[in-house]
Amino acid sequence: MENQAKNNCIKDIYWERIFLNITFKIYEEIQQIYLVSTQEQYSIPLEKTETQYQYQAKINITNIAGKMLENQEYRFKIKRGEDYEDLTIDYSLAYQLENLSKVYRYYREIYAYTINFDVEKLKNEQIGCVLISRYMKLNKKPRMYCFSNQSAKSIVKDTSFNFMANTMNILYKFFSFLHQNKSKKILLMSETRTPMSGNLLALDQRLKERGIDKEYKISYSFSTTLQEGKMHIMFKWFKLIWVMSKQGFIFVDDYSPIFKYIDISPKTKLIQVWHAGVGFKSVGYARFGFGGPEPYQSSHRKYDYAIVGEEALIPVYEEVFGITKDKILPYGLARMDHFFDKENIEKIKDNLYKQFPNLKGRKVILFAPTFRGRRQAKAYYPYDKLDFAKIYEVCKQKNAVFMIKMHPFIQEKVEIPKEYADHIQDFSDYTDINDLYYIANVLITDYSSSVYEYSKLNKPILLYTFDLDDYQLINRVHKNVKEYEFATVCCTLEELLEQLENLPMEEKQNREVDKYKMASDLIIDNIILKGKE
């Protein structure tokens, strides 16, 4: 995907000692660009090069109008009258920005001045470049909680939260001391989703199938605390630590920030059964330096064990969680325990066809994208990228149902016009997406980890990545989507519909049937019953 023609943009950035050199492609005659923050602006002179439309700026970062930049975020802009127009950034350059950071140490290396670059989405749906200027001071106590102190309000708020977090940890230790007999108590919990589903649901079912719930007490805690305010979350946590203090085993399926503030008892094992098989998007310490967790105060570092799908994923999650590889156990995903059980598959299919009789005898196109937005509370999907009239025509031609299964973080419901309801249906409220895989003839997703399970079924996968470069640059990814071999990448709706029109949607033989072992049993036998010291 390339920047649109006649789009003024930044083409290149490179350093020479204290000089920041920037090459611009600008389709008009100008003498300067502007470096603009919320508090100040600087006029940067340009020199025209021999290349058409190309200009060069050389910025001495120690001497911009006789001084250095402040602790600000700056944008590159062109001035038009009293208004400023953002300059976009060439996509190929945007992928290199993280390698262009600079650290200038000074005064006995106690202080440092840093320049970093980031990208942001502009109002015109293009990508812009942000220059982040910061003065840093040596942190002699990196294991202490780090709180903002930019204003009096921030100091009061952060001090209050810090006090409550320390109090909560003290109470947890006291409660934990009271509950010495923890060995046969299990807590299944999530702070991101409700009700219980996925790996935790599969583990819970297997514990009961084997009668372990008769010998062990199983407790549950499921909420969506990450969608709430910081102080409200803290009050919920005060209730939760009483339950946590009793447990010998705590299983979580996603990021659980409470463990950032709790020193888990040595008698309690914390196990992460991560919800994603393999994720495109960088999370945890894979985002370190770009809004990732703190060096020491991270819940991810508290895991005694993390369960992953296969051995090849150990390096990925070693990076994500910041724990040693011996703690990462390639047992598989518990929710896939019956993934290749033919009897179970037929039972699920029968139940689905009874519940939704309009699906029987028709092809199923499962559309299950991930969300957009950086946080759970702000999660959304741009529904305007779906042209229901065109999708309907393809489905009608194929005698297919376009089944929409939105990510559970997305609160806004998709509005399907009534005239298309016989071929386009919303299944977002259906709990277990694994069930839908069995009747789907093709999966359409984008950057979702759903490709992990579905790829095992030897069925076609299409990736509808209309925002490929934007998404990868803003969210960071482990590997460029185009490098994955199990799916066809479609950057426009036209490409997607063309693929659907020409795609043979016939049933194929599963290729992994004899390879898969019961992940739940491996967890139960090697962690709960046997224990690992």
What per-residue confidence (pLDDT) applies to 1?
Answer: 44
The answer to whether the CB of 113 falls within 8 A of the CB of 95 is no
What does the alpha-carbon distance between residue 496 and residue 468 come to, in Å, rounded to a whole number? 14
Mean pLDDT value across residues 51-78: 95
What per-residue confidence (pLDDT) applies to 82?
Answer: 84
What is the reported pTM?
Answer: 0.83
What per-residue confidence (pLDDT) applies to 232?
Answer: 80
pLDDT at 253 over 50: yes
Indicate the domain borders of the chain: 9-137, 152-337+520-529, 342-502
Mean pLDDT value across residues 186-213: 94
pLDDT band at residue 228 under the 50/70/90 scheme: confident
pLDDT band at residue 89 under the 50/70/90 scheme: very high
User: Which stretches of 226-362 are assigned E, i.e. beta strand?
Assistant: 249-252, 269-272, 305-307, 328-329
User: Which stretches of 92-216 are assigned E, i.e. beta strand?
Assistant: 102-106, 111-121, 127-137, 185-190
Domain 152-337+520-529 listed as CATH 3.40.50.11820:
yes
pLDDT band at residue 150 under the 50/70/90 scheme: low
- Whole-Å CA distances, 57 to 54, 128, 225: 10, 17, 47
Mean pLDDT value across residues 492-520: 78
Give the whole-number percent of the chain exceeding pLDDT 70.
Answer: 95
What does the alpha-carbon distance between residue 503 and residue 88 come to, in Å, rounded to a whole number? 37
The one-letter code for the residue type at 110 is I
What does the alpha-carbon distance between residue 425 and residue 521 come to, in Å, rounded to a whole number? 36
What per-residue confidence (pLDDT) applies to 147?
Answer: 53
Of 395, 496, 498, 394, which Cα lies nearest the Cα of 444? Answer: 496
b/e per residue, 1-35, with b = 16+ CB within 10 A? eebeeeebbbbebeeeeeebebbbbbeeeeeebbb
What does the alpha-carbon distance between residue 408 and residue 410 come to, in Å, rounded to a whole number? 5
What per-residue confidence (pLDDT) applies to 154?
Answer: 73
What per-residue confidence (pLDDT) applies to 290?
Answer: 74
Q: Which of 286-290, 346-350, 507-511 has the highest mean pLDDT?
A: 346-350
Contacts 24+ apart (CB under 8 A), 55-60: 55/23, 55/24, 55/25, 55/26, 55/30, 56/21, 56/22, 56/23, 56/24, 57/21, 57/22, 57/24, 57/33, 58/19, 58/20, 58/21, 59/19, 59/20, 59/21, 59/22, 59/35, 60/18, 60/19, 60/20
pLDDT at 2 over 70: no
Looking at CATH, the fold of the domain delimited by 342-502 is given as: Rossmann fold (3.40.50)
Q: At what angle do helices 152-178 and 230-244 cross, to 10 degrees?
A: 10
Higher-pLDDT residue of 409, 15: 15
pLDDT at 213 over 80: yes
In the block, residue with structure tokens 């079912």? 205
User: Do 152-337+520-529 and 342-502 have matching folds?
Assistant: yes
pLDDT at 511 over 60: no
Higher-pLDDT residue of 287, 459: 459
What per-residue confidence (pLDDT) applies to 501?
Answer: 93
pLDDT at 512 over 70: no
Of 33-47, 140-154, 390-404, 468-482, the poorest mean pLDDT is in 140-154
CA 163 to chain centre: 30
What per-residue confidence (pLDDT) applies to 229?
Answer: 73
Residues whose CB is less than 8 angstroms from the CB of residue 366 and which lie 6 or more positions away in sequence, other chains included: 403, 405, 436, 437, 440, 442, 443, 444
Phi, psi of 190 (to 5 degrees): -150, 140
pLDDT band at residue 378 under the 50/70/90 scheme: confident
Q: Which of 91-105, 291-305, 370-384 has the highest mean pLDDT?
A: 91-105
What per-residue confidence (pLDDT) applies to 507?
Answer: 62
**CB-side exposure of 385: number of CA atoms within 13 Å?**
17
What does the alpha-carbon distance between residue 317 and residue 323 come to, in Å, rounded to a whole number? 8
Q: Cβ atoms within 10 A of the Cβ of 394, count? A: 19
Phi, psi of 317 (to 5 degrees): -85, -15
The answer to whether the CB of 174 falls within 8 A of the CB of 183 is no
Higher-pLDDT residue of 276, 494: 494
Residues whose CB is less than 8 angstroms from the CB of residue 278 and which lie 6 or more positions away in sequence, other chains included: 309, 313, 316, 449, 451, 452
- Whole-Å CA distances, 350 to 190, 381, 439: 31, 31, 10
Q: What is the mean pLDDT of the chain?
A: 90
pLDDT at 84 over 60: yes
The answer to whether the CB of 430 falls within 8 A of the CB of 436 is yes
What per-residue confidence (pLDDT) applies to 6?
Answer: 73
Sequence-ordered alpha helix ranges (H) in 322-378: 342-355
In the block, residue with structure tokens 């393999």? 278
What per-residue confidence (pLDDT) applies to 269?
Answer: 97
